Amino acid sequence: MDKRTLKDLLYEQVARIGKAVSSPKRLELLELLAQGEKTVEALAAELSIDIKLASAHLKALKDARLATSRRDGKYRVYRLTGSDVAGLWVMLRQVAEEHLLALRLALDRMVADPARLASVGREELLEQARRGDIIVIDVRPQAEYATAHLPFARSMPVAEIEKRLTELPTGKEIVAYCRGPFCLLADEAVALLGAKGYRIRKILDGVSEWQAAGLPLQTAVDE
């Protein structure tokens, strides 16, 4: 094999990853699968697409070795092939935020009220949660929380908050998080609890951002 052919082959293989993540829906699938393994049906519902299209997108990720699957009864369950794939999603998003003005403007609209953002850094947040100075709530589905969550966080899915208000002390600040900067579940929690008189803010991090920063995570097994 001559040098040119070899180089073409090398770049072609790396380009397989670029092709796999060139779809907005497949990027969203990476973010969802970074929360834990999910069935095709659950992923299709999250993306508001039909199962056939979701399967096609998942096949593209699988062909690029970014995802893998297993059979669970009549269901096909997908997961990422490694934590580095979740890190790839975080890196792509961060590069896009740095260089694409349209994305930064869209994110600014999502955070229309900066006062709703927790102002402390990650390590200080962790220390405040450890001391019990703040209450951190994970508003994703409980299964995602069980897979991995921020240390000292409580599982409180958005759909359950109304029924579990007595579990939240009114005298402490509450910090909510979900799947990352593009996730709106934390915004729902902030609006709901704020209307009930709670002092609540959110952070933009999810477990992928936390892991990419080299900070610890916990699972249900650790507790």
Active site residues: 178
Q: Measured between alpha carbons, how far is 60 from 23 in angstroms, rounded to an integer?
A: 10
* The amino acid at 131: R
Taking the C-alpha atoms of residue 134 and residue 219, their distance in angstroms, rounded to an integer, is 20
Report d(CA 15, CA 5) in Å as an integer: 15
Whether 170 and 202 have beta carbons less than 8 Å apart is answered as no
- Rounded CA-CA distance 86/212 in Å is 8
27 CB neighbour count, 10 Å cutoff: 19
**CA max distance for the chain:** 71
Handedness of CA 163, 167, 173, 175 (dihedral sign): negative
CA 11/CA 213 separation, integer angstroms: 28
- Pair 114, 207: CB distance under 8 Å: no
Q: Which residue in this structure is represented by tokens 């939240």?
A: 168
Task: Burial-class residue 102 by CB neighbours within 10 Å (0-12, 13-18, 19+).
Answer: exposed
